[in-house]
Homo-oligomer: A and B are copies of this chain.
Amino acid sequence: MSSTEFKVDRRDIQFILNEVFEVGKLCEFPAFSEFDPDTFHLIIEEAANFAEKVIAPINEIGDSEGCVLKDGKVITPKGFKEAWRQMGENGWIGLSVSPELGGQGAPDLIAVAATDALVSSNQAFLITRFLTSGAVNLIQTFGSEEQKALYCEKMATGEWAGTMCLTEPGAGTAVGDIVTTATKEGDRYLIKGTKMFITSGDHDFTDNIIHMVLARLPDAPPGPKGISLFIIPKIRHDGTPNDITVVNLEHKMGIHGSPTCLLSFGENNQCYGELLQAENQGMAQMFQMMNESRLQIGLQGLAASAAAYEFALSYANERVQGIAVQHGKDQSASRSLIVEHPDVRRMLMNIKATAEGLRGFMYACGHATDMSQHGPEETRNHYQNLLDLYIPIAKAFGTDEGFQAACTGVQVLGGVGYTRDFPLEQNARDAKIGSIYEGSNGVQALDLVGRKFNMKNGELLQSLQEELKYFGQVTIPQEIQGLIGEWNSYRDLMFEAVDNLRHLSKSEGSQGYVLYATNMLALMGDVLCAFYLLKQAAVAQNKFEAMASEAASRESLLEESTDARFYWNKIRTAEHYVLVLLPRALSNARVIKNGSLASLQAKLELAV
Contact = CB atoms under 8 A, between A and B. Distances in A.
Interface in A101-115: none
Given A172-B415, A197-B415, A253-B418, A583 B591 contact: yes
A569 interface: yes
A284 interface: no
Contact of A167 (B415, B425, B509, B575): B415
A287 to B, nearest CB: 17
A436 B407 contact: no
A397 to B, nearest CB: 14
Interface in A543-579: 558, 562, 565, 568-569, 572-573, 575-576, 579
B594 A251 contact: no
Contact of A172 (B250, B343, B414, B588): B414
A445 B335 CA distance: 21
A234 to B, nearest CB: 23
Interface string A290-327: 00000000000000000000000110110011110110
Contact of A587 (B224, B583, B594, B599): B583
A176 B343 contact: no
B442 A606 contact: no
A465 interface: no
A516 B420 CA distance: 30
Interface stretch (A87-95, A134-142, A152-160, A345-353): A345-353
Q: Per DSSP, are chain A's interface residues mostly helix, strand or loop, or mixed?
A: helix
Contact of A603 (B174, B569, B590, B605): B569
A217 to B, nearest CB: 16
Given A321-B172, A331-B223, A605-B339, A346 B518 contact: yes
Contacts of A605: 317, 337, 339
Contact of A602 (B326, B345, B515, B586): B345
Given A579-B591, A590-B583, A602-B573, A417 B436 contact: yes
A584 interface: yes
A417 B254 CA distance: 12
A419 B251 contact: yes
Interface in A344-384: 344-349, 352
A197 to B, nearest CB: 5
Nearest to A250: B419
A305 to B, nearest CB: 16
A343 B414 contact: no
Given A177-B322, A410-B432, A425 B344 contact: no
Contacts of A420: 251-253
A445 B606 CA distance: 38
Nearest to A337: B605
B596 A579 contact: yes
Nearest to A606: B317
A511 interface: yes
Contacts of A572: 598-599, 601-602
A599 B170 CA distance: 48
Contact of A606 (B314, B345, B591): B314
Interface string A236-280: 000000000000001111100000000000000000000000000
Most B-side CB within 10 Å, residue of A223, A321, A347, A587: A587
Interface in A183-227: 196-197, 222-224
A493 to B, nearest CB: 11
A437 B251 CA distance: 28
A421 interface: yes
Most B-side CB within 10 Å, residue of A331, A347, A565, A569: A331
A332 interface: yes
Interface in A475-523: 509-511, 514-518
A441 interface: yes
A411 B445 CA distance: 14
A511 B572 CA distance: 17
A222 B436 contact: no
Contacts of A558: 603
B326 A607 contact: no
Contacts of A411: 435-436, 440-442
A606 B569 CA distance: 12
A42 interface: no
Nearest to A344: B442
A313 B167 CA distance: 23
A10 to B, nearest CB: 13
B579 A594 contact: yes
A433 B418 contact: yes
B517 A343 contact: yes
Contact of A177 (B335, B428, B569): B335
Given A415-B197, A518-B343, A348 B313 contact: no
Contacts of A436: 410-411, 414-415, 417-418
Across the A-B interface, give the 4 residue pairs with the lowest CB-CB distance, nearest first.
Answer: A174-B322, A223-B331, A579-B596, A349-B599
23 contacts: A172-B415, A196-B415, A222-B331, A252-B419, A252-B420, A253-B428, A313-B606, A326-B510, A342-B515, A343-B446, A345-B515, A349-B599, A410-B436, A415-B436, A569-B603, A572-B602, A575-B596, A575-B598, A579-B596, A583-B588, A584-B584, A586-B586, A587-B587
